[in-house]
Amino acid sequence: MQSIHQFRIGSINGEEIRFEAFKGKKILLVNVASECGYTTQYAQLQELYEAFENKLIVIGLPCNDFGEQEPGSHEEIRNFCDINYGVTFPLTEKINIKTRPIHSIYQWLTQKEQNGVMDSDVSWNFCKYLLDEEGRLLAFFPSSTYPAGEEILDFLH
């Protein structure tokens, strides 16, 4: 159970995202929200996705658990991301990270007993998890770490 490749999740479009499809690429998972002070990070996430498309997949996971800053429907979220940031990377269905039931992906990401690497705490929107090409957890970055910051880019160069 030390690879994220075992998971599946619904996309914001109602399709299924199978993490095993991303074998061979690094994965950056970000809990996103449309009404947050960090929402402008969508622009850098899109730039990162385009710049490293051959070796990185960015996935946004909308969540309303932090300050109720993602109140919209799936259609509203998708439209917001498209109109304001031209987002083309995958977005999942809206999930729970702090409120029950906590999505199984975030149980895995935040508990060392499941991911084999570390415990972590998602404290706000736009926290980031980076996984290697085999789906193993590499690093956790808080909201204040910008997607195009050296902390993340060092893993991609």
Say what the pTM is.
Answer: 0.97
Going along the chain from its start, the domains and CATH numbers come out as 4-156 (3.40.30.10)
User: Each residue of 51-90: pLDDT tens digit?
Assistant: 999 999 999 999 999 999 999 999 999 999 999 999 999 9
Which pLDDT belongs to residue 109? 97
Q: Which of 36, 63, 81, 127 is catalytic?
A: 36
Which pLDDT belongs to residue 1? 62
User: Each residue of 91-133: pLDDT tens digit?
Assistant: 999 999 999 999 999 999 999 999 999 999 999 999 999 999 9
Burial of 7 (0-12, 13-18, 19+ CB in 10 A): middle
63 part of the active site: no
- Contact 60/30 with Cβ under 8 angstroms? yes
